[in-house]
Amino acid sequence: QQQVKQSPQSLIVQKGGISIINCAYENTAFDYFPWYQQFPGKGPALLIAIRPDVSEKKEGRFTISFNKSAKQFSLHIMDSQPGDSATYFCAASKAAGNKLTFGGGTRVLVKP
C-alpha cells in the first residue's frame, strides 16, 4: 500500500523557471513532512520540512505548501538552476515514530 503518492515522475524546466512537485498522503496520523534531494550515487539530503500547523514554509528558493484538509503538500523550486537537477522525494512520518514513508520520487531536469 503506497501511503504517499508523488507526482509527476519526471519534470523538465528551463533555467529560471518554477518546478512544482506534488504529494498526497493517506494516513492522518502523519504530522511531519520533509522533502529530500538526491543526486546520483548519493544518499538523500534533507532539503526542507513542514509540520501541519503551518500552511507554508519557505527556505531560500524552496517553498513547501501544505493543505491539511486535502492531505496534500507540494514543493516549489523558484528560479530553478541546472544544479537543482536531481531526484526529489517527499516523505511523511508520525510524531515520535521517526519511520519515514517516502513517495516514489520526481526526477527534475533543469535545462540551461
Residues that bind another protein (CB under 8 A): 6, 32, 34, 36, 41-46, 49, 89, 91, 93, 95-105
| CB of 33 vs another protein, minimal distance in Å | 10
* Cβ nearer to another protein, comparing 64 with 105: 105
Q: Which residues touch 98 (CB under 8 Å, ≥6 apart)?
A: none
CB of 95 to another protein, least distance (A): 8
- Of 30 and 84, which has the nearer Cβ to another protein? 30
The grid coordinates listed for 84 are 537543482
Nearer to another protein, 2 or 14 (CB): 2
